[in-house]
Each structure stands twice: as structure tokens, then as C-alpha cells.
Structure 1
């Protein structure tokens, strides 16, 4: 019975810390690049697109499709970085709790 109460207490503490972490994610920014830095995308920790920068040399007639592909690639790079930050923060938050490996938080 004491173990259950302890687990419930830890879960409640984790829930409060998770809420704090989610708020702080809005402040985190991840920058992804593609095309050797010719396209840069900035995302918030929540995955919201904040900025896109395109090197002026890419803006030429007939190169629109390539620029579009580079934007998608840079977005994917930034999203992967933002998810890595979130996973790291979640791991720090849940250290010591008996959570199955691979379980994604928040639920």
C-alpha cells in the first residue's frame, strides 16, 4: 500500500513538472538546415514554424521545386532537433520512475 501511495505521489509531481516543461518548450527553438545551409527553418519546441530563411542565390527561374524540397528537408531537420530536446527533458523529468522504455510522454 505504501508503494502505491509513493507511486501516486511521484506521478502527481511528474504531472506538475511535465506542465512546466511544456510551457518552457514554447521558448525552445530548433534550427534546421538543408542544402549546406542555403535553407534554414526555425521551429518552436512545440513544432510551430517560426522562420524560414532562403539564400538569395536559390531564387532563380525554374528552381522553385528544389527550394520547396530544401524547405521540407530543413523543416524535418529542425523538427528532429526539437523532438530530441523534448525527449531529453522528458528523460530528466522521469528519472527514477518505473516507465516502460519507448513510452512517449506526454500521454
Structure 2
């Protein structure tokens, strides 16, 4: 067999160089969007502002703010409540970060779905390809 099996690709309408350039451009856009998310912060607040948690756009905890005078540090029940409020505030902030990520990265994902489905964004159901 002397014929190159890839000869059919070169004479047709498929331009592999253009496809590679498009993929590289998409990758650069994805990296840029991820960097912007890492620099963006969102706050999750509970109990009327008694606890505020700040996370970046990729969900990494950046800070916790507890309003002075709201909690008694000597009362175990009060401290347990504080722990629960910190968790709730983090979940609020993380949900916002996930939505932001889905909004920013969703269009770049090309509709493949699954990867951002848990964030409540435009991706399809987990495990389902969008083509």
C-alpha cells in the first residue's frame, strides 16, 4: 500500500493549520478568562451581615469577616452557630463564584456540557455532550 491515508484530508475542505490556530486562540481565551476569575472576588453574607465570606471567582476562600459584638466567644453553642454561619456564607459565595465561572467560561467551552453543569450555568446535564 503506497498511498498515504492522509492524502484525502489535504485535498478536501479541511484546513488543519486553521483548525490548530483556532484551537490555540481558544486556549488563550480560556487561560485569560481563568486568570480574570482568579482576580475577581464575590462575597457571601448571612445573618444580616453578621458573617461575610469572600471567595475569588474560582471558589478559593479569600477572607472571613465577623461583625464585632455578634457572637460570644465563651459560649460553645454560640461558637457552633458561628461555625454554621461561616459555612453558609461560604456556600453562598461559592454559588456566586460558580455562576460567574459558568458565565465567563461557558461560551469558551463550546457547548460540550458536563464540566460546568453543576454551576447552574449554560452547560448541559452532567455527562451529556452538546453536539
Deviation at 1:34, TM superposition (A): 1.4
Higher relative contact order (CA 8 A, sep 6+): 1
Q: After superposition, where does 1:49-68 map in structure 2 within 5 Å? A: 49-60=61-72, 61-62=74-75, 63-68=78-83
> 2:37 maps to which residue?
25
Counterparts in 2 of 1:59 and 1:4: CA distance versus 1, 3 Å: farther
1:76 and 2:88 equivalent? no
What do the CA deviations read for 1:78-107 (whole angstroms, capped 9, x no partner)?
A: 11111111110012334xx3x333334xxx
Structure 1 stretches lacking a partner, 5+ long:
none
TM-score (norm 2): 0.66
Structure 2 stretches lacking a partner, 5+ long:
1-8, 117-131
Tell me the C-alpha RMSD between the 2 structures: 2.3
